[in-house]
Amino acid sequence: MTDRIRLLVADDHPVVRDGLRGMLSSQPDFEIVGEASTGAEAITFAQQLQPHVVLMDLRMPIGDGATAIAQIKARYPDINILVLTTYDSDADILRAIEAGATGYLLKDAPREELFRTIRATARGESVLTPTVASRLMGRMRAPAEEALSAREIEVLSLVARGANNKEAAQLLHISEATALPRGIVRLE
């Protein structure tokens, strides 16, 4: 990776893209190489621009964020994807992580937390905000009728033993995009 972290911002709201551009431009190690307003554009721009990190909203027209994540990770496994969204339901979180997101951050995060999370994501570290991590932990502790599938438990077991996405995927004979991120980085 070069000294500057190449970023692609994918969000369907122009004001959000403008705000992110302004905020991220204040950091000397960030370079915004492109902006996408749809999931399909995010996939195309990821191919053309080869960013280090894609900041991906989940709900966009013409291909939602989770679908775009899965397609980008399948084609370009070295591109890390940080979900930056307002949606924190269990279904949204799991779908994004299962698709291959490296991290998950809510849009109400303070700017310094966003900066740290982007840098960690660029290094390939899995980052979940405490709120999201708590939701996942709650899901794991859910009653039997809401329990994880056998495959989800296998993946989590490998992750708990230190396997990364690629190793878990190889051991379980599944695609890397469906393996859970390696761990949780708690942001202080």
Enumerate domains of the chain plus CATH numbers: 5-129 (3.40.50.2300)
Which pairs from 64-68 meet CB under 8 Å and 24+ separation?
64/39, 65/10, 65/39, 65/96, 66/92, 66/95, 66/96, 66/99, 67/39, 67/99, 68/10, 68/39, 68/40, 68/42, 68/43
- What's this model's pTM, rounded to 2 decimal places? 0.72
Per-residue pLDDT of the chain (188 residues; tens, 9 = 90+): 458 999 999 999 999 999 999 999 999 999 999 999 999 999 999 999 999 999 999 988 888 889 999 999 999 999 999 999 887 777 788 889 889 999 999 998 999 999 999 999 999 998 887 777 777 777 666 665 556 667 777 777 776 676 776 777 788 877 766 664 434 332 32
pLDDT the model gives residue 184: 37
Residue 142 confidence (pLDDT): 63
